Amino acid sequence: MRLTRASRLAAVVALAGACAHNDVVDVITRDGSNTIVAINLAPAAAGLPNGTRAVNRFILSSFDTSAYDAFGRASANPATFVREPPNGPCYGTTPLIYEPGTAAAVATYVPPNRYLPAIVTPVTIQDAGCGTATAYIVPGGHPGNGTGNTFWEFWHDFTGAVASTRYITGLVRYAVQARGAFDQSEILQTGTVTTPDSLVFMAGDFNPAGRKARDAFVACGSASIAQPVAGANPMLLGSDTTRSGSVDIDMTACDTNGVWFNGVGSPASPVPSNDLSMNTKQYNFFVIWVAKADSTPDYTKPVYRQQIGPLLTTTGQVINNSFAPVPAAALTSTQLATRPGGVSRPDTMRLTFNVLEPLSTGAYQVFLLRSGTDTAQVVTGRVIRLNGATAVDTANGVTGFNTVAGVTTGATVVIDMAPYAAINWSAATLAIGASSGNTTLPASQPIWTTSVFKFAGQSASLSGSLAFGSFNKGTSPVLFGAAGSGTGGVFGTELREDVVRLARPPVGYVYEAWLFNSSDATKKYNIGSLLTPYPGLQSLDDADTRQTAPLAGPEITQAAIRAVAQSATFYCDYDKVQVRLAPRQNAGALPAAVILSSGSSKGLGVTGCP
């Protein structure tokens, strides 16, 4: 019986214990400290190596007319789409198609006539009252013709007309019957045409329509206005007869019948964009002909012909390099060198490199390369070492250089490109070589440009910025950018930072962890390289090329910073923790490139600092 009672009592005690509820939370202490001031790191991206490229001029090697718009004459708008010169006396400042094609006032104007059929008794466009040659195509809806108008205007006033002769105007869609070299390419390269091409109508595309009666400047409501006709070619636009030695034909065409677009930039605009987008409903010439007795044009007697769109083949394809207007003269060699079709080299090239850390061993060198190949050549040039932007000293005919801590921070390398003209170099890179006598392209190629020679299809650039990262011979260049973050702080006597998602350093570069005093530059401490995550804590000095765990991808996913001091007061001299970037051969100076930085915290938050 006693046992039974004892068992019941024990059960009650056990149940009471089971219902107790006392949670335990202990604060962890290290070296007498139980709080850690947060020292978190954020991207800084300050003081990264950089540079510029400058070219005096390009020297033409060859010209490739197969490049799109090889002469650089295409435009999204119609040709000569400009404000009426000089300051819009008649039509204001809204652009219109002004055939002389210049912003300056032109009193008279005769366009170049390079095609067959040849111009007979060429006329000269004269000033009809606006202060400059009157040769306008005013798009529908242009505010110069009054708000809300819906008509296109074609106004030409010319002298040189035969007395008592009737002339008629029209828009024409011509194809080119080529003979020999394409006329425009010949003109632009040589200034002459060996065998003129002919302007012809494509098969089935000769459908004259429009207005043959005397011109009339009227609104759409007038019966005298020209009505666009779908498929018309040419689209005739009114006529007039010589009076007092001149002719003035000012005709409006209504754009509200669904055939034409009210303005430019549309496939239904009668005047096309000056590029390869022209279609076979648009027109590429404005022509004035001598009219026959019934006012139809005598197509063998054009007296004025202005190209307003690109040319077509006889099968209706837009011809590259045929953009309006017909050129008047050849481009100079210097001009051709910089146009899209030009293949050219710089005469001299100046590469300026900034923020170059002094190297303990080796030298900075400049190499020319054929990107993606093993073709590379070290450059012999003039090196002007800089302190900021100030020249410090100059060395001629050298293949390498170094900087000096506190004296020089970069250099300009001036390269005479004539000795290197035999190969079409596509890139130039600063490299860190084993010595200034090195002739083999080193793996470390941190600063580069891919603009050296100008190739067909490229735009010419006389200056630009250099890229920083890993050029990798141009096979797979990787631009470097500061990224990542860090969390941590000083716990007891140890500084610990957990760093994540840093970009790999450029090949030949390493990350260094530093303690830094932002108000006293003499107080700095190199903690050392980044480490693999705990518990490994191995050096990541090879993070630029390492392909084994924990590094396999394009970034350092996780890393650590560790500093152990004898006493927490060691940290009192500093207020920032930073991750900086330096060449592997860094001579020991505080690198200028700051990748991650903490905010300022006196003594890194250690209590008891003075």
Partner 1 sequence: MSKLGITLAAGLVLGAATGAAQSTARFRITPSFGVIRFDRTSALSSTTSGISKLWASAGLSALYQFRPNLHAGFYLETSRPSTSPDYFPYALIQTAGKYQLFAITQRVVVLSYGLSAEVGVPVLPKFAPYVRLGLGRHSVYEDVQQENSVKTVNGMEFVAGAGLRYTVGNNVGVQLEAVDFLWKDWNRDVLNPTQPAYQNTVFPEDNPTGITWSKPSLIHNMRLALGFTFTPASGGTR
Cα 467 from Cα 447, distance rounded (Å): 5
- Kindly list the strands in the beta sheet with 235-241, ordered across the sheet, starting from the edge strand earlier in the chain: 209-214, 235-241, 166-172, 285-291, 297-307
Return the SS3 of 354: strand
Q: Provide, rounded to whole angstroms, the least separation between the CB of residue 538 and partner 1.
A: 15
Confirm or reject binding of residue 42 to partner 1 (CB under 8 A): no
Report whether the peptide linkage leading into residue 477 is cis, meaning its omega lies within 30 degrees of zero: no
Report whether the peptide linkage leading into residue 143 is cis, meaning its omega lies within 30 degrees of zero: no
Among 306-314, 324-332, 431-439, 491-499, the segment contacting partner 1 (CB under 8 A): 491-499
Task: Pick between residue 27 and residue 104 the one whose CB is nearest to partner 1.
Answer: 27
Confirm or reject binding of residue 550 to partner 1 (CB under 8 A): no
Task: Pick between residue 14 and residue 479 the one whose CB is nearest to partner 1.
Answer: 14
Report the chain's terminal Cα–Cα distance, integer Å: 75
Exactly one of 34, 194, 257, 475 binds partner 1 (CB under 8 A); that residue is: 34
Task: Pick between residue 175 and residue 499 the one whose CB is nearest to partner 1.
Answer: 499
Q: Provide, rounded to whole angstroms, the least separation between the CB of residue 28 and partner 1.
A: 4
Task: Pick between residue 88 and residue 605 the one whose CB is nearest to partner 1.
Answer: 605
Confirm or reject binding of residue 535 to partner 1 (CB under 8 A): yes
Q: Provide, rounded to whole angstroms, the least separation between the CB of residue 445 and partner 1.
A: 36
For residue 181, the Cα-to-chain-centroid distance in whole angstroms is 33
Select from 50, 49, 48 the least CA-distant residue to 594: 48
Residues 2-21 that bind partner 1 (CB under 8 A): 3-4, 6-7, 10-11, 14-15, 17-18, 20-21
Confirm or reject binding of residue 32 to partner 1 (CB under 8 A): no
Task: Pick between residue 347 and residue 494 the one whose CB is nearest to partner 1.
Answer: 494
**Contact mark string toward partner 1, 171..200, x via CB under 8 A:** ------------------------------
Exactly one of 257, 334, 463, 487 binds partner 1 (CB under 8 A); that residue is: 487
Cα 517 from Cα 389, distance rounded (Å): 26
Cα 74 from Cα 325, distance rounded (Å): 10
**Contact mark string toward partner 1, 497..526, x via CB under 8 A:** xx----------------------------
Confirm or reject binding of residue 549 to partner 1 (CB under 8 A): no
Q: Provide, rounded to whole angstroms, the least separation between the CB of residue 557 and partner 1.
A: 13
Beta-bridge mates of residue 429: 367, 448
Select from 415, 426, 405, 404 the least CA-distant residue to 382: 415
Among 48-56, 70-78, 285-293, 483-491, the segment contacting partner 1 (CB under 8 A): 483-491
Phi, psi of 358, deg, nearest 5 = -60, 135
Task: Pick between residue 320 and residue 578 the one whose CB is nearest to partner 1.
Answer: 578
Task: Pick between residue 28 and residue 422 the one whose CB is nearest to partner 1.
Answer: 28
Q: Which residues contact 2 (CB under 8 A, 6 or more apart)?
A: none
Cα 487 from Cα 399, distance rounded (Å): 44
The residue count for binding partner 1 (CB under 8 A) is: 38
Q: Provide, rounded to whole angstroms, the least separation between the CB of residue 597 and partner 1.
A: 16
Confirm or reject binding of residue 23 to partner 1 (CB under 8 A): yes
Q: Which residues contact 439 (CB under 8 A, 6 or more apart)?
A: 378, 399
- Per DSSP, 605 falls in state G
Task: Pick between residue 73 and residue 496 the one whose CB is nearest to partner 1.
Answer: 496
Confirm or reject binding of residue 608 to partner 1 (CB under 8 A): no
Are 280 and 245 a contacting pair, CB within 8 Å?
no
Confirm or reject binding of residue 293 to partner 1 (CB under 8 A): no
Q: Provide, rounded to whole angstroms, the least separation between the CB of residue 25 and partner 1.
A: 5
Select from 368, 382, 31, 317 the least CA-distant residue to 175: 317
Are 199 and 233 a contacting pair, CB within 8 Å?
no
Q: What angle do CA 590, 384, 473 make, to 5 degrees?
A: 75
Residue 406 CB neighbour total at 10 angstroms:
9
Residue ranges of alpha helices (H) inside 132-206 are 183-190
Confirm or reject binding of residue 548 to partner 1 (CB under 8 A): no
Task: Pick between residue 5 and residue 548 the one whose CB is nearest to partner 1.
Answer: 5
Report whether the peptide linkage leading into residue 506 is cis, meaning its omega lies within 30 degrees of zero: no
Task: Pick between residue 35 and residue 257 the one whose CB is nearest to partner 1.
Answer: 35
**Which residues of the chain form contacts with partner 1 (CB under 8 A)?**
1, 3-4, 6-7, 10-11, 14-15, 17-18, 20-28, 30, 34-38, 487-489, 491, 494, 496-498, 533-535, 605
